[in-house]
A and B are shown apart, each in its own frame.
Chain A
Amino acid sequence: GENVEQHPSTLSVQEGDSAVIKCTYSDSASNYFPWYKQELGKGPQLIIDIRSNVGEKKDQRIAVTLNKTAKHFSLHITETQPEDSAVYFCAADDTGGFKTIFGAGTRLFVKA
């Protein structure tokens, strides 16, 4: 089955700087890679996703890149703001069933 690894586990940046979170996956057949943001006491919320037929997708300050050959994908947040502080999860679909496999999460701190 699919396995997703995520790093770093904690990331601290200054307001206005960029933040990058990286993930690797094991199942070369996976073709859907969502990213979720989870704030304290809330459920995860989708912020961006990418499918395997594209290498990059951007939505305002957030971008995701996918390298299918290397089986890794990354989240890039530019011009970070204090409200970006949260836990971010990458995920991949498990092609063997109906599972979405999540990474262990990255806790992002944006210092004002």
Chain B
Amino acid sequence: GAGVSQSPRYKVAKRGQDVALRCDPISGHVSLFWYQQALGQGPEFLTYFQNEAQLDKSGLPSDRFFAERPEGSVSTLKIQRTQQEDSAVYLCASSLVEGLKNIQYFGAGTRLSVL
């Protein structure tokens, strides 16, 4: 595709439900990032993949959050036993090469609302 695609665009979950958010990066991009963006705030780093390897997961807020990128392309962010404080927009970004200091292309995000 032409850009980073995220699905679903909107997700409403009842507290305690599990959710899975999908990211399709730009084809051939090595790096993939997940961010959490609370209302009125800047994106906050969650985790980073270089191909299929998860090299940094220091931003994941708890062990309820899990991310994977098994074949080095599509990535899924899973949140177990959702809580109200998980409500936010989850952004995915990809970059052509490894590491930082390169342009990150963002998807439109998934807005998660936990009731």
A: which residues have CB within 8 A of B?
6, 31-32, 34, 36, 41-46, 49, 51, 89, 91, 93-94, 97-105
Nearest-CB distance from B4 to chain A (Å)? 7
Instruction: In the A-B complex, list the 9 residue pairs whose CB atoms are closest, starting with the nearest.
Output: A43-B106, A102-B42, A98-B48, A32-B101, A98-B56, A99-B45, A93-B100, A97-B56, A44-B106
Contact of B106 among A32, A45, A93, A104 (CB under 8 A): A45
A58 → chain B closest CB, angstroms: 18
Evaluate contact between A89 and B45: CB separation under 8 angstroms: no
Measured between beta carbons, the chain A residues less than 8 angstroms from B93 are 43
User: Which residue of B41, B45, B55, B109 contacts A101 across the interface (Cβ within 8 Å)?
Assistant: B45
Instruction: Assess A99 versus B58: contact at CB under 8 Å? Given A43-B93, A46-B103.
Output: yes
Once the chains are docked, how many angstroms separate the CA of A111 from the CA of B107?
28
Q: Flag if A41 contacts B45 (CB, 8 Å).
A: no
A93 to B31, CA, bound (A): 15
B56 in contact with A102 (CB, 8 Å): no
Size band of the B side of the interface?
20 to 34
From B42, B58, B108, give the contact of A43 (CB < 8 A).
B108
Contact status A97-B108, CB under 8 Å: no
User: Which B residues are in CB contact (< 8 Å) with A46?
Assistant: 103-105
Determine whether B1 belongs to the interface, using a CB cutoff of 8 Å to chain A. Answer: no
CA distance A49 to B45 in the complex (A): 19
Main secondary structure of the interface of B (DSSP, over half): loop
Cα(A42)–Cα(B4), bound, Å? 11
- Cα A104 to Cα B93 with chains together (Å): 18
Determine how close the nearest CB of chain B comes to the CB of A103; give it in whole angstroms: 6
Decide if A100 touches B41 in the complex (CB within 8 Å): no
Give A34 to B43 CA distance when docked, in angstroms.
Answer: 13
Q: Do A32 and B100 have beta carbons less than 8 Å apart? A: yes
Task: Output the residue of B42, B48, B104, B105 with the most chain A CB within 10 A.
Answer: B42
